[in-house]
Amino acid sequence: MKKVLIVFGSRYGTTENTSKMISDALSSKNLEVNLVNIKDMEPSVEGYDGVLIGTGIKISMWTKRIKKFVKKHKRIFNNRNFKFGFFISCGTACKKEDVNEAIEKYIKSKMSKIGVTYDLCDAFGAIYDFSETSLLSNMAKKMMKEGLIDDGWEKIEDISYDLRDVNQIQKFSENFASIL
């Protein structure tokens, strides 16, 4: 059985939830999956047939620990014996017509700047959680609501909005499984 490592950095839970969806999809393809939150530990990439890394985007930046992890393991990622994929969760990718822009801005340009190559990448939308149990600060909620209003939303309630394309996440997972 082939083994896959998924390492993620999540600020408010979207990337963690997306990583779990990818893990479930890969497990259903008879792959052994190890899912690691970079906040809990920095895993070794040795012994895996595939490695996926995911991060949230905030103010155009990856999570600090994911950025540090990618830079630290740059040589391994470029001289690897495994398939390597990268994904992001961000508000820019909530609309299908903006996904390529998000990939270019937050994956391709940043990976190029670091000097890391990958086999597969994608950008997924975000979950905007305005509920009372949200991990977002009141200031962050206010700024996100203003951004959604600027995007044409007329009414925003204090609930959670999942703006990810579940089919896109499933297809990414299937594509990664197929290249293993």
User: Would you state the pLDDT for residue 74?
Assistant: 93
8 A C-beta contact, residue 51 and residue 22: no
The architecture CATH gives domain 3-126+163-179: 3-Layer(aba) Sandwich (3.40)
Instruction: For residues 81 and 78, give the distance between their C-alpha atoms in angstroms, rounded to a whole number.
Output: 9
Residue 163 buriedness (CB in 10 A; 0-12 / 13-18 / 19+): middle
**Each residue's pLDDT expressed in tens, for the chain with a length of 180 residues:** 999 999 999 998 999 999 999 999 999 999 999 999 999 999 999 999 999 999 999 989 999 999 999 999 999 999 888 999 999 999 999 999 999 999 999 999 999 999 999 999 999 999 999 998 888 889 888 988 988 888 888 889 999 999 999 999 999 999 999 999
Using only the alpha carbons of the chain, give its radius of gyration. Answer: 16
CB neighbours of residue 79 within 10 Å: 8
Domain definitions of the chain by residue range: 3-126+163-179, 130-161
Q: Is 132 helix (H, G, I), strand (E, B) or coil?
A: coil
